[in-house]
Amino acid sequence: MRPVIPYVTAALLFGLGVYGVLRRRNAVLVLMSVELMLNAVNLILVTADTTARAVLPHSGQVFALFVIVLAAAEIGVGLAIVLQLYRLRATVAVDDVPLTEPTQPVDEREPAVLDAEARR
């Protein structure tokens, strides 16, 4: 088997995943792009294992199995974060996520109205 075809396919998949991470605004699509990149790495590991068996037998397949386990954990944690983000912000757009603590109070009413309501 010629290893050039899987390597080029993996490079294209990885490039498509990087494009998806950099250009997409939806958090679910960003997670899917990360999964695409991890699958490209799996393809490279398995191809390298089949072409060069001199180091350890089936080492590339074992590493690919570890990558699959890490991808499953990443999807579990990532989807939990996306669901919590949707519950809090009612959107999953990555651009709308604040990276710092808010300086404005959540309630935009006048402070006098807030104090009057607090006294009741």
DSSP the chain: --THHHHHHHHHHHHHHHHHHHH--BHHHHHHHHHHHHHHHHHHHHHHHHH--SSSTTHHHHHHHHHHHHHHHHHHHHHHHHHHHHHHHS--BGGGS-SS--SS-SS-S-HHHHHHHHH-
Domains by residue range for the chain, with CATH: 4-119 (1.10.287.3510)
pTM of the full structure: 0.73
Return the SS3 of 88: helix
Angle, CA 29 vertex, CA 66 and CA 6 arms, to 5°: 50
**57-72 tens-digit pLDDT:** 778 888 888 999 999 9
- pLDDT computed for residue 115 by the predictor: 60
> pLDDT tens-digit profile of 24-79?
989 899 999 999 999 999 999 888 888 877 667 778 888 888 999 999 999 999 99
Q: Taking residues 97-117, what's their average pLDDT? A: 60
Mean pLDDT, rounded, of the chain: 83
